[in-house]
Structure 1
């Protein structure tokens, strides 16, 4: 037995999911960490907080331990293949100079990946928007199990493409192991806006063709 189960996230899970994200993704994501956007789970990070809440619940999944605690999440949703996010508006409305820089980098990523041009016959795809695992549960197969359910959900909806973006070298390695193909890769030193600490050298976009 793995010691955890995979369940679908619903509205009632929002606050517990946000607690997990605040103590993991908010602090340890390489871009956030480098610019000290969020130094503790108690920091006020309204722009990132609002984005995460906007994505929830989506068609998302949680890993729950035997005591009922959420120990991992994949927050997913359906996105347009071509120009899925209006970064210009997000950047204009962003209240944090630090988070605005991250948004500007994500805009560069989106334009560089140019997913719509690579998959002109697809209108929508299934996208992993956020991923997080409790520190005590890393390297125990949590993310693999969450991804199995995510792929199953995408197929049931009838979407052929599954997308995941990685700012972390560890996340990129996991994506490759799970059969994703890198369609965009750019060195942070080339972008020259935020350069995370090693081993995080590249910003990447991965796609997996499900059928």
Structure 2
């Protein structure tokens, strides 16, 4: 089978079964090798992984996430977790027991705050957020991340959204977003991010993923 010629289908994860497919895929291909999960050693913390799963479920429950399947092999080639962020959104209060996950959650909140999403356009009330993007290892290096981001952009345009946000925690997602017209409005090197004076993400200097970028693209304006 030649996976260089992709025969893809796209479907929205808007049923219980499809939401479970997305979560199962992320647990297999995203949770363990995502840069901030890896660097924080969250994978060593059973409670932390459970809380990461609950955090992800809440995002998937927006019923906007995307499943990309290879019609030839019948495999899921990738998933994109998509949600809507609102200007005056009340954050759900979740009791976090895992110190490692608490630090990851605080970092993601830091990126969101520094992006200043709702200050970018006057009277902006909501925005599309691409929260997680994961590609099956069998399909990496074939431009699938770019294809999925393009799908998100087209969806946002069709629905009349004016802004899309992505928090890119890897070099690969950052490059894909930049190539599609996103702007990095905030970046921070992992070696410089501290919580209570302690470096949270310990990444070797030769590791390809050295920083996180809060990315935005204004559309329909």
Distance 1:54 1:114, change over 3 A: same
Q: Note the C-alpha offset of 1:173.
A: 1.3
Instruction: Pick one of 84, 90, 95 that aligns with 1:78.
Output: 84
Which whole-Å deviations, capped at 9, do the CAs of 1:173-206 have from their partners, x for residues lacking one? 1111121111111222322232342332222111
Quote the residue 1:67 is aligned against.
73
- Unaligned runs of 5+ residues in structure 1 are none
Quote the residue 1:38 is aligned against.
43
Instruction: Pick one of 5, 11, 20 that aligns with 2:9.
Output: 5
Distance 1:51 1:160, change over 3 A: same
Quote the Cα distance in structure 1 between the aligned partners of 2:88 and 2:173.
Answer: 23
Quote the residue 1:96 is aligned against.
98
* Alignment RMSD (CA, Å): 2.2
Quote the Cα distance in structure 2 between the aligned partners of 1:107 and 1:75.
Answer: 17
SS at match of 2:42: coil
Which whole-Å deviations, capped at 9, do the CAs of 1:87-119 have from their partners, x for residues lacking one? 8x34xx112111011112122222222222233
Higher helix share: 1
Quote the Cα distance in structure 2 between the aligned partners of 1:181 and 1:144.
Answer: 15
Distance 1:169 1:129, change over 3 A: same
- TM-score relative to the length of structure 1: 0.87
- Unaligned runs of 5+ residues in structure 2 are none
- TM-score relative to the length of structure 2: 0.83
Instruction: Pick one of 55, 59, 63 that aligns with 1:55.
Output: 59
Equivalent residues, number: 205
Which whole-Å deviations, capped at 9, do the CAs of 1:115-159 have from their partners, x for residues lacking one? 222333311111101111111111112222222221221112110
